[in-house]
Amino acid sequence: MSGTRGRGTAVHRSGPPGFARGRGVLRSEWALALAIVAVIVLTGLVDQNHTYFTSAKASAVIILRNTVILGIIALGAAVVIIGGGIDLSVGSMMAFSATTCALVMTLFTDPSDKMLMRVSGVGVALGVGGGMLAGLAVGTLHTWLITSIRLPPFVATLATLVGLRSFARAMCEFVTTQRWGSQYQQVNVNTPFFIYIKQHLAVGTTLLVLLALATWFCWRGRCWCMTSRANIRSLKQSWVPTPW
């Protein structure tokens, strides 16, 4: 298909406008898939016990379980990065939210139940809700620091990267001292609800897939939250369709 631009100048197009872009995305995805396969093969060969090959099923379960945990975190980080920002505190955020969840559950079981094996259903629900609220609170703090105080996202999230882990440890020591009479820096959770999720990997995998689909739907549906010029440029560079 050809067209003209000016007098006597021909412009040739090899396909529809989005063809070259789509081909570039597919090429990148295939390259990423090949890189993952290469890492798995090389790791299996370097390992003296060749665990990936001799215990393929057990290895796949461990990798998938870690993929679910990291994948859920990566979805949120991807949205931030595509939007032109950065978040360095995702690991500390995970530790802080998990600590909040565990400490809330300690309040809904016997003081003698230090392994959290007999937490009530209400305690589990409030623990999960507390962990989610902790994440929301820190996210709101980041929003305030970036939009009102005008701190760069790198600086704002670097501060919470350092501070959240220390705050989570101090909070754990305080609550366990008040509840159990002894100071602990970590709390073991053996509640049947979480044991079930750990043993049934399909639950976490399904949750990851649903969250990934929801994220994709929001981007495709143009549920835009940030429309600055830098963010629009980042979206276009990430092959995300924009109305601008």
What is the reported pLDDT for 103?
Answer: 95
Which of 147-151, 162-166, 181-185, 225-229 has the least mean pLDDT? 225-229
| Same domain as 132, residue 39 | no
List Cα–Cα distances, 42 to 35, 38, 52, in angstroms.
10, 6, 10
Q: Reduced to 3 states, what is the DSSP secondary structure of residue 12?
A: strand
Which of 24-33, 51-60, 181-190, 232-241 has the least mean pLDDT? 232-241
Q: Is the pLDDT of residue 20 over 90?
A: no
Can you say whether the dihedral through the CA atoms of 52, 56, 59, 65 is positive or negative? positive
Residue 200 domain-assigned?
no
| Same domain as 129, residue 45 | no
Per-residue 3-state assignment (H helix, E strand, C coil) for 45-64:
HHCCCCHHHHCHHHHHHHHH
Residue 215 domain-assigned?
no
- What is the pLDDT confidence band of residue 209, given thresholds at 50, 70 and 90? very high
Q: Look up the domain containing 102 and give its range.
A: 85-194
- What is the pLDDT confidence band of residue 21, given thresholds at 50, 70 and 90? low
What is the reported pLDDT for 164?
Answer: 93
Q: What is the pLDDT of residues 87-125, one digit of tens each?
A: 999 999 999 999 999 999 999 999 999 999 999 999 999
| Same domain as 96, residue 178 | yes
What is the reported pLDDT for 83?
Answer: 75
Residue 76 domain-assigned?
no
What is the reported pLDDT for 126?
Answer: 97
| Same domain as 46, residue 91 | no
Residue 24 domain-assigned?
yes
- What is the pLDDT confidence band of residue 172, given thresholds at 50, 70 and 90? very high
Residue 235: CB atoms within 10 Å: 20
How far is Cα 244 from Cα 241, in angstroms, rounded to an integer?
9
| Same domain as 148, residue 92 | yes
Residue 73 domain-assigned?
no
Residue 241 domain-assigned?
no
Average pLDDT over residues 193-203: 93
Q: Which of 155, 175, 194 is the last residue of a domain?
A: 194
What residue has token string 């998938």? Answer: 64
What is the reported pLDDT for 22?
Answer: 54
Residue 41: CB atoms within 10 Å: 12
What is the reported pLDDT for 222?
Answer: 54
Number of domains in the chain: 2
Average pLDDT over residues 63-72: 92
Q: What is the pLDDT of residues 126-151, one digit of tens each?
A: 999 999 999 999 999 998 998 899 89
- Helix (H) / strand (E) element for 185: namely none
Q: Is the pLDDT of residue 29 over 50?
A: yes
Instruction: Output the CA angle 161-164-127, nearest 5 degrees.
Output: 130
Q: What is the mean pLDDT of the chain?
A: 83
